[in-house]
C-alpha cells in the first residue's frame, strides 16, 4: 500500500515549503486536544514532518505520551492536514538536522540546548482538492 503522502500534488509539495505556520494538535493526558501554532518541515522522501521545540514542553510531553499528532497548514482556500504517529527525538544529530531544515524554510532558530524534535511519521493526508491527487488513494 502506498503511503498517503503520495497523494500530495506538486503544488502541495511546494505549499509545504512556503513560509507558513501550522497548528500542531496533540492529546493531553485527559485526551482533550492541545493545539498550538508551530513552524514545521516535511520530507517527502521519508514522509516525516518535524517540529523543533524545547524538551519538556507540553507539545513534546503530549507527543511522547500519546504517540500521535496532526499538523494543519492553511493559506486562504489551500489547506493540508498531516496525521500520523509521533515520537520525540533528542539525538544531537537529529536535532541538528531538524534545525537545518527549519532554517531553510523559516530562519535560523535561536540557540536552545534543551531542543528536541517531534517527528511525525505521516500516515494520513487531508487537504483542499487542488493539493491532493484524488485518484491515488
The model's pLDDT over 21-70, given as tens digits with 9 standing for 90+, comes to 999 999 999 999 999 999 999 999 999 999 999 999 999 999 999 999 99
pLDDT in tens, 97-106: 999 999 999 9
Looking at the domain assignment, is residue 97 inside a domain? yes
Looking at the domain assignment, is residue 134 inside a domain? no
Looking at the domain assignment, is residue 76 inside a domain? yes
Asked if 132 contacts 16 with a C-beta cutoff of 8 angstroms, the reply is no
> How many domains does the structure of the chain reveal?
1
Looking at the domain assignment, is residue 37 inside a domain? yes
CA distance 70 to 125: 10
Q: Residue 79: give its domain's CATH number.
A: 2.30.110.10
What is the pTM for the complete model shown? 0.94
Looking at the domain assignment, is residue 72 inside a domain? yes
What pLDDT is stored for residue 1 in this prediction? 41
Confidence of residue 107 (pLDDT cuts 50, 70, 90): very high
Confidence of residue 137 (pLDDT cuts 50, 70, 90): low
Domain containing 116 equals 4-126
- Work out the angle at residue 88's Cα, subtended by the Cα atoms of residues 86 and 93, and round it to the nearest 5 degrees: 125
Amino acid at each position: 500500500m502506498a503511503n498517503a503522502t503520495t497523494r500530495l500534488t506538486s503544488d502541495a509539495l511546494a505549499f509545504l515549503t512556503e513560509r507558513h505556520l501550522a497548528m500542531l494538535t496533540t492529546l493531553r493526558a485527559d485526551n482533550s486536544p492541545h493545539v498550538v501554532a508551530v513552524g514545521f518541515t516535511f520530507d517527502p522522501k521519508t514522509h516525516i514532518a518535524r517540529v523543533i521545540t524545547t524538551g519538556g514542553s507540553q507539545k513534546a510531553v503530549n507527543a511522547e505520551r500519546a504517540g500521535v499528532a496532526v499538523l494543519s497548514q492553511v493559506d486562504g482556500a489551500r489547506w493540508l492536514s498531516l496525521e500520523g504517529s509521533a515520537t520525540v527525538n533528542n539525538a544531537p544529530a537529529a536535532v541538528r538536522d531538524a534545525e537545518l531544515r527549519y532554517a531553510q524554510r523559516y530562519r535560523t532558530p535561536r540557540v536552545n540546548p534543551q531542543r528536541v524534535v517531534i517527528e511525525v511519521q505521516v500516515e494520513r493526508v487531508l487537504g483542499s482538492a487542488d493539493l491532493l491527487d484524488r485518484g491515488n488513494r
